[in-house]
Amino acid sequence: GITRHYKFNIVMQNVTRLCQTKSIVTVNGKFPGPRIIAREGDRLLIKVVNHVQYNVTLHWHGVRQLRSGWADGPAYITQCPIQTGQSYVYNFTVTGQRGTLFWHAHISWLRATIYGPLVILPRKHSSYPFQQPHKEVPIIFGEWWKADTETIINQAMQTGGAPNISDAFTINGLPGPLYNCSAKDTFKLKVKPGKTYLLRLINAALNDEIFFSIANHTLTVVETDAVYVKPFNTPVLLITPGQTSNVLLKAKPKAPNATFLMAARPYSTGPAAFDNTTTAGILEYENPSVSNSKNKNKKLLLLKPSLPVFNDTTFSMKFSKKIRSLATTKFPAKVPQKVDKRFFFTVGLGMLPCSQNQNCQNNTRVAASINNVSFVQPNIALLQAHFFNKSKGVYTTDFPANPPFKFNYTGTPPTNIMATAVVVLPFTTSVELVLQDTSIISAESHPLHLHGFNFFVVGQGFGNFDPSKDPAKFNLVDPAERNTIGVPAGGWVAIRFLADNPGVWFMHCHLEVHTSWGLKMAWVVTDGKRLNQKLPPPPSDLPKC
């Protein structure tokens, strides 16, 4: 591979959406941010210079970061933030992966405006295991607030309530024609009849899973989370925040000057209000053989796609189950067949007493937890503490492998414990983790994201996981290999991964509001014995707290 250099200046930029202008934090003044392109095997050196008043970190979502944990990016997990006027070079190599990922800020809610595509092309002279597309187009979904998002989350954390919902969804930063005064802010994709396009779909929205569809067109899913899958056709996709998917769009052989809408709107199962609006873009056929005079009389076929209802959990489960690894000799699915350690984590929302500096109603606030632990962000980075053997007073290693209470859909909400606790995994531990949704406030889908690894989705179902029956049905042959999976609303999902990457690895719900409320934890993976199994020391420019 080669080395590719990028310079990311963090700067403020005025951006107008929905008839209102606000100043947002951006990379190089761009919204969405610049596209990073690399080939498998390349090294990326991304110099980030912070020119704004906020502390910043960036994360390369889905990049495995093999022995390069210092470049992973979650604030106070692998690094201290880059402070105003400081810089940091993210230095990592993309190995064993190719496809669509993305990058985003990983501190507070700054990823609302700081995100962009990260495209890993196959190695030179190797091709896709599917039809070579005529063109490749990133389609990145986002969520827009008229107000300042940092103010919104800071106020919500102060009052213990839920933050305001967004005002619009966006496609490549644009809300589209279904919102007030946004017709000019519409993403347009021009296609040639008969040609095949590779759409690189990314859900960068903060708090919403998204259905996506293009009117009158079927999409062929060929990859999820930068892993090839067995191709399947679908009119609609469901993509959680943190998930990415490559799909092929075959333009119709004859559709001169026809125009179709593509649209995205949320899948929501939570108890709270959510932004139930629709973002749309336009798919436009160009046909050079049609003369200009005919063009004038062109009939606009503005067909709207039909999307599932907002809480269609059946669709969600069915769609998730369709995704299977390609699992060929060239692209094998390396599913761990034996398990060294089993974990059972309940995920969900609960309540906590207010802290002194909060003014919440009824003296309780919403919290979120894994196994009843609401994770407390430390004030120095866990990875540094681990590497220099200075974990005392920073974190404890007693994160529970099982929930402290018997799982019960209807039980009274237990009070969460607040702690900075981790699980320590000896190098190359083979892990099986069952994630069980709880219904303490309400059944809700949680897109869980694991840093530093891909995992295999060996099983999923509704209701309570049954350890005596469900494992017999696990798929250990060609399960989906991902970095983010929706824990089904009122159900469970079982994943397996091999802890072959030394470092500290964050795991959290990719609904940002749930992360803010504590639905997060970390795995500490120890070094192996050989030199090439150890985490190298930190780079000299690693920011200090």
Given the rule CB under 6 A, which residues bind ligand C2O? 59, 61, 74, 104, 106, 242, 449, 451, 506, 508, 510
Tell me the three-class secondary structure of 176-215, residue by residue: CCCCCCCCCCCCEEEECCCCEEEEEEEECCCCCEEEEEEC
Q: Which is nearer to ligand C2O, 98 or 449 (CB)?
A: 449
Q: Which is nearer to ligand C2O, 217 or 508 (CB)?
A: 508
Tell me which DSSP letter residue 399 carries.
-
CB of 174 to ligand C2O, least distance (A): 22
Tell me which DSSP letter residue 57 carries.
-
Q: Which is nearer to ligand C2O, 166 or 313 (CB)?
A: 166
84 close to 52: Cβ distance less than 8 angstroms? yes
CB of 111 to ligand C2O, least distance (A): 7
467, 522, 457, 454: which is closest to 95 by C-alpha? Answer: 454
Instruction: Give Cβ neighbours of residue 416 (< 8 Å, ≥ 6 apart).
Output: 350, 351, 352, 367, 369, 372, 373, 374, 518
Q: Which is nearer to ligand C2O, 10 or 307 (CB)?
A: 10
Give the separation between CA 230 and CA 322, rounded to whole angstroms.
9
335 close to 492: Cβ distance less than 8 angstroms? no
Residues in the chain: 545
Instruction: Give Cβ neighbours of residue 393 (< 8 Å, ≥ 6 apart).
Output: none
Q: Which is nearer to ligand C2O, 122 or 378 (CB)?
A: 378
478 close to 227: Cβ distance less than 8 angstroms? no
CB of 181 to ligand C2O, least distance (A): 31
Point out which residues pair with 199 in neighbouring strands: 137, 247
CB of 72 to ligand C2O, least distance (A): 8
Q: Which is nearer to ligand C2O, 200 or 510 (CB)?
A: 510
Q: How far is C-alpha 439 from the chain's CA centre?
A: 23
Q: Which is nearer to ligand C2O, 73 or 336 (CB)?
A: 73
Q: Which is nearer to ligand C2O, 106 or 514 (CB)?
A: 106
Point out which residues pair with 462 in neighbouring strands: 491
Strand order in the sheet with 99-105: 36-39, 115-121, 99-105, 58-61
Q: Which is nearer to ligand C2O, 160 or 242 (CB)?
A: 242
CB of 102 to ligand C2O, least distance (A): 8
Q: Which is nearer to ligand C2O, 61 or 265 (CB)?
A: 61
CB of 8 to ligand C2O, least distance (A): 17
CB of 62 to ligand C2O, least distance (A): 8
Give the separation between CA 102 and CA 201, rounded to whole angstroms.
10
CB of 224 to ligand C2O, least distance (A): 15
Minimal CB distance residue for ligand C2O? 61
Q: How many CA atoms lie within 13 A of 233 on its CB side?
A: 4
Query: Residues 148, 519, 96, 383: what is their CA dihedral angle, to the nearest 10 degrees?
Result: 90
Query: Which H or E run includes 103?
Result: strand 99-105
CB of 424 to ligand C2O, least distance (A): 20
CB of 504 to ligand C2O, least distance (A): 12
